[in-house]
Structure 1
Amino acid sequence: MFSFSRSSLRHFSSSARILGRAVVYSQNGDPSKVLRVLTYPSVPSPPPPHSVNLNFLLSPISPADINVVEGVYPSKPAKTDALTLSGEANPLFVGGNEGLARVTAVGEGVHTLAVDDWVIMLKQQAGTWATDRTVTVADVAKVPDSQFLTQAQAATITVSVNPPTAYNMLADFVDLESGDWVVQNGANSAVGQAVIQIAAARGLKTINLIRDRCNLDALKERLHNLGATHVLTYDQLADKSVREDIKQWTGGKPIRLGLNCVGGKDTTNMARLLGNDAHLVSYGAMAKQPLSIPISLFIFKNLTCHGFWQSRWYIKKPLEEREKLMQNLVTLMKEKKVREVISHLHPLITLLTSVAGHS
């Protein structure tokens, strides 16, 4: 879904050119082998009618992005939107599905956006590992209240799939009220940290499961500072005596929502904590092991299991609901109830030239 489609490239012959750089690949495989950095005439100026030129400010690099390059992710870039350049034998796909961008120019007929507006991408596999691109105005959404946000905040809350995933999983499956309990594994992941913060903002209490590690106490403290009610390791969860502790924590109140991104026996043990008519929502499988749920939980507790994929949510929901979700997340950020969760910030080209060849 890279913006420099054949129709865009035609404008290069008669319009001013701006050199851009992008991280591209022509075939799937090991990212360290198939990715390369390309310099090329990037965007036509002015942009075509009903289009805008963008300069990307921050573009996440997520596990899903790597899976797309490897060719093992369900959502793939469209061949019709690949970049085709003279001298290149094959169409080039630009990596990246998410990105925060600034509008640098607007084409004729664009009335909803202006220069310097911040926008995010609405199309999947948009090709955001680039400095500049041209897109149709229908493929972007304006970030609300951007004047109150830093670039990191805007990129974390409105661009990354992690906070929207956390928000929707807490909202869409169980009608939770303040004081209700949620249990999740992978609690130190980006989604897990977003769950902790959004749940705390709603008055929900969380039991958060993580792997044992050398810096365990420091990690527990960090999660508690985000709003986690309790933090346990999977080894602790495997001890049946811990279930009595959990009953005391909850006061016997049933846990009605479990969030899973791990799979395997650790998720099986977590599912046993759920009460009657609970819902287990799976959005990942980091252990790369099957989900194994005892039949008794279905028969005697009426457990319901779901799969959740934020990309599917975006596909099914109208623009109004997407914009409402973004506004809700921005409001949480403005109220300082949710902070950005970024592990590292790198200049994109500098980072990827360390693992990819140059062009």
Structure 2
Amino acid sequence: MGCAVRLLLPVAAKRLTTARRLSTSTSPPATAVLYDHHGPPDQVLRVAELPAAEIGDRDVCVRMLAAPINPSDLNRVEGVYPVRPPLPAAVAGYEGVGQVHALGGAVDSALLSPGDWVIPSPPSLGTWQTYIVKPASAWHRVRSDVPPQYAATVTVNPLTALRMLQHFVNLTPGDTLVQNGATSIVGQCVIQLAKLHGLRTINIIRDRPGSEEAKDKLKQLGADQVFTESQLDIKNIKSLLVLLPTGLCISVS
């Protein structure tokens, strides 16, 4: 579930257009990355101009600031992910962060205001475009004093890690958890959240070039122990077990 984060639609704050409230109008035309059929992303994705969309009384028009590229985004394009948008002309992208550009006249100002930073909540399809119009209930306000790449990627991987730590087993400070795939973005989030909550982590990674550097990186994030798969060979496991901290162990994959 890791992601190689790229800013798809970076926008400098000084270039943002003035947000406004309106009764009924249309959004600016949008530039979007979309596809008409499933296949390899480098073959089926295309950039197109979309016409202005009507902004209803309870809608919000958001100018996207940044959107990541996750493996799940590419899987949707390939047609191998369970949740897929209808074709043709499906706009790619599942999460991201944007700034409120315009509000419908009936949108509660206590909920959203012009200039607010927002993320789609829950995540929704079609974030790889410059302007999106959705009902106000589809947006969640977030802080604007964090780097946009953080806000753009908070929905999927960090919240997956938080859910795994809090919604399945009642963990308390001093407990220990075991996870494989520790170099994934979810795995790295698990390590950091566990450290924050006083939990210890035993982390398993693949044997491949750079594994020692990966171990060092995970330990800098707060990992207590990091092992490669080969270190868990039956001949080694007994000696390793005596080094492990006591406490509750759960498996997170």
Runs of at least 5 residues in structure 1 that lack an aligned partner in the other structure:
1-13, 83-90, 261-359
Q: Which residue of 1 aligns with 2:33?
A: 23
Distance 1:16 1:245, change over 3 A: closer
Aligned residue-pair number: 228
1:25 Cα deviation from its structure 2 partner: 0.8
1:124 Cα deviation from its structure 2 partner: 4.8
- Is 1:39–2:49 an aligned residue pair? yes
TM-score, with length taken from structure 2: 0.84
Q: Which residue of 1 aligns with 2:242?
A: 247
Give the alignment of 1:174-253 within 5 angstroms: 174-251=169-246, 253=247
Is the 8 Å Cα contact of residues 42 and 133 (structure 1) preserved in structure 2?
Answer: no
1:52 Cα deviation from its structure 2 partner: 0.8
Distance 1:110 1:156, change over 3 A: same
Give the structure with the higher percent helix.
1
TM-score, with length taken from structure 1: 0.60
CA distance in 2, matches of 1:189, 1:96: 19
Is the 8 Å Cα contact of residues 25 and 56 (structure 2) preserved in structure 1?
Answer: no
Is the 8 Å Cα contact of residues 119 and 141 (structure 1) preserved in structure 2?
Answer: yes
Q: Which residue of 2 aligns with 1:152?
A: 149
Is the 8 Å Cα contact of residues 42 and 132 (structure 1) preserved in structure 2?
Answer: no
Q: Which residue of 1 aligns with 2:20?
A: none
In structure 1, which of residues 259, 262, 268 is the aligned counterpart of residue 252 of structure 2? 259
1:15 Cα deviation from its structure 2 partner: 5.2
Find the residue that maps to 1:18 and give its secondary structure.
coil
Is the 8 Å Cα contact of residues 209 and 232 (structure 1) preserved in structure 2?
Answer: yes
Q: For the aligned residues, what is the CA RMSD? A: 1.9
Is the 8 Å Cα contact of residues 76 and 125 (structure 1) preserved in structure 2?
Answer: no
CA distance in 2, matches of 1:38, 1:117: 27
Q: Deviations over 1:20-53 (max 9, x none)?
A: 2101111112211111110232444xx2210011
Q: How many percent identity over aligned positions?
A: 40
Is the 8 Å Cα contact of residues 193 and 223 (structure 1) preserved in structure 2?
Answer: yes
Distance 1:37 1:223, change over 3 A: same
CA distance in 2, matches of 1:58, 1:224: 29
CA distance in 1, matches of 2:119, 2:27: 24
Is the 8 Å Cα contact of residues 121 and 139 (structure 1) preserved in structure 2?
Answer: yes
Is the 8 Å Cα contact of residues 19 and 41 (structure 1) preserved in structure 2?
Answer: yes
Find the residue that maps to 1:249 and give its secondary structure.
coil
Find the residue that maps to 2:102 and give its secondary structure.
strand
For 1:217, give the aligned amino acid: E
1:213 Cα deviation from its structure 2 partner: 2.4
For 1:39, give the aligned amino acid: E
* Segments of 4+ moved more than 4 angstroms: 14-17
Runs of at least 5 residues in structure 2 that lack an aligned partner in the other structure:
1-23
Q: Which residue of 1 aligns with 2:126?
A: 127
